[in-house]
Amino acid sequence: MDGAVTPGFDVERIRADFPILATEHRGKKLVFLDSGASAQKPTQVIGAMVRTMESAYANVHRGAYHLSETATAAYEAARVACARFLNAPRPEDIIFTSNSTMAMNLVAHSFGRGLMKPGQAVVISEMEHHANLVPWQMLRDGHGTQLRVCRITDAGELDLNHLAELLADGKVGLVAITHMSNVLGSVTPATQIARMAHEAGARVLFDGSQAAVHRRVDVQAIDADFYCFTGHKLYGPTGIGVLYAKAELQRAMPPFLGGGDMIASVTYEKTTWAEPPAKFEAGTPPIIEAVGLHAAIDYVEAIGMPAIEAHERALVDHAMATLPHVEGLTIYGKAQDRGGVFAFALDNAHAHDLSTLLDRAGIAVRAGRHCAEPLHERLGAGSGTCRASFGLYTTKAEIDYLAEALASARRFFA
């Protein structure tokens, strides 16, 4: 396997932290190229969660005994870590959710239904994940808002001129845009989008599910009103996500869910809400998962997000220099700024058949429409694509092996 692809980045040392990468898959050494769906977990994350379950677990915020206080401190320390990771002004600006999907549904309910008026509009783009499309359709159908869709260029970049047109009438209340496409790898100009939205009187939400994994995110520099990401793509556990929301918006928005821990007081006649972010965290939270997410953040920060970004840029450059030479392969998206996500199709091969054949070679890729059906229609790939997505443990040798396997698959299908 290829060693460090950037100075000071020892990919083989990093790979040793991920036990699953040492295993075989269908009798072959595992080549995991589906990190965009869910990344593998290092021993540091696994160990932190196991230790919590074995010796430091209790419910949080409620117990007046030492174990509960210890668990509460660990849970809130994870919030501090998330605020540091996004450069949020305060830990209280971080709301824990179950994933990015819940985070965007929270914004759709609490901001959309709570603060937006019927007749106002939400702007999304043609390359959104269903999690940043369906909630706004539900808001449109149940609350009377408009839904406007910003075009992308044939290269897979956001059409900023069209965005300006959609904002021009002043009726847009929210712009909700991916920070990095989960199909095309396109990175959107977040700072420019936020500035355009704010100048038109709109708030802005970024789906950072992919971007936060691959590059440093600074919500203050971007001037994001909302920003979300999910733990399981950041080498952490499933079941926990993060929503950053500006303090003034949290105070103004009504709760999303009702129950324990999000209340200040309850009578049969009336309930008053706890202060944010507790107002948005009803019920027993993902305690063990928060510990795991904290460990994942510590892990990537110890490596350094600039080093991770440089490593993955080198992988993208290598992929763009290698994969187009595979005869009959179509790669979708040619954005100038892109991350390690490649959707592709091979002549005469259905995506599911191709994925199955690659699986026999030990290569794990995604097949289908990747929760982005309208985008696939826009690309003329309605039947689906295969997707290879990189992580910090991906090597150039794995990309070469993928190219060889694709060439072999083309001969097979021909």
pLDDT of the chain along its 414 residues, tens only?
333 344 468 999 999 999 999 998 888 899 999 999 999 999 999 999 999 999 999 999 988 999 999 999 999 999 999 999 999 999 999 999 999 999 999 999 999 999 999 999 999 999 999 999 999 999 999 999 999 999 999 999 999 999 999 999 999 999 999 999 999 999 999 999 999 999 999 999 999 999 999 999 999 999 999 999 999 999 999 999 999 999 999 999 999 999 999 999 999 999 999 999 999 999 999 999 999 999 999 999 999 999 999 999 999 999 999 999 999 999 999 999 999 999 999 998 999 999 999 999 999 999 999 999 999 999 999 999 999 999 999 999 999 999 999 999 999 988
Which amino acids are annotated catalytic? 371
CATH topology of domain 11-41+305-413: Aspartate Aminotransferase, domain 1 (3.90.1150)
In 290-365, the DSSP E strands lie at: 329-332, 341-346, 363-364
What pTM was computed for the model?
Answer: 0.96
- The residues, ordered by sequence, that sit 6+ positions from 181 with a Cβ below 8 Å of its Cβ are 127, 156, 188, 210, 333, 341, 372, 375
Residue-level pLDDT at 1: 34
CB burial of 387-399 (b: ≥16 within 10 Å; e: otherwise) equals bbbbbbbbbbebb
Q: Please tell me the distance from the alpha carbon of residue 103 to that of residue 222, in angstroms, as a whole number.
A: 19
Residue-level pLDDT at 235: 98
Q: Please tell me the distance from the alpha carbon of residue 349 to that of residue 354, in angstroms, as a whole number.
A: 6
User: How many Cβ atoms are within 10 Å of 385's Cβ, its own excluded?
Assistant: 28
Backbone angles phi, psi at 55, to 5 degrees: -145, 0
Backbone angles phi, psi at 17, to 5 degrees: -80, -10
Q: Please tell me the distance from the alpha carbon of residue 308 to that of residue 300, in angstroms, as a whole number.
A: 8
Residue-level pLDDT at 26: 81
Kindly give the residue spans of alpha helices, DSSP state H, lying in 107-149.
114-115, 134-143
Residue-level pLDDT at 239: 98
Cα-Cα-Cα-Cα dihedral sign, residues 329, 324, 10, 300: negative
Domains in the chain: boundaries: 11-41+305-413, 47-301
Residue-level pLDDT at 88: 98
Q: Please tell me the distance from the alpha carbon of residue 36 to that of residue 205, in angstroms, as a whole number.
A: 20
- The residues, ordered by sequence, that sit 6+ positions from 67 with a Cβ below 8 Å of its Cβ are 56, 57, 58
Are the folds of 11-41+305-413 and 47-301 the same? Answer: no
CATH topology of domain 47-301: Aspartate Aminotransferase; domain 2 (3.40.640)
Residue-level pLDDT at 24: 87
Of 93, 378, 22, give the one whose Cα is nearest residue 249: 93
Question: Element (H or E) spanning 265, and its range?
Answer: strand 263-266
User: How many Cβ atoms are within 10 Å of 174's Cβ, its own excluded?
Assistant: 25
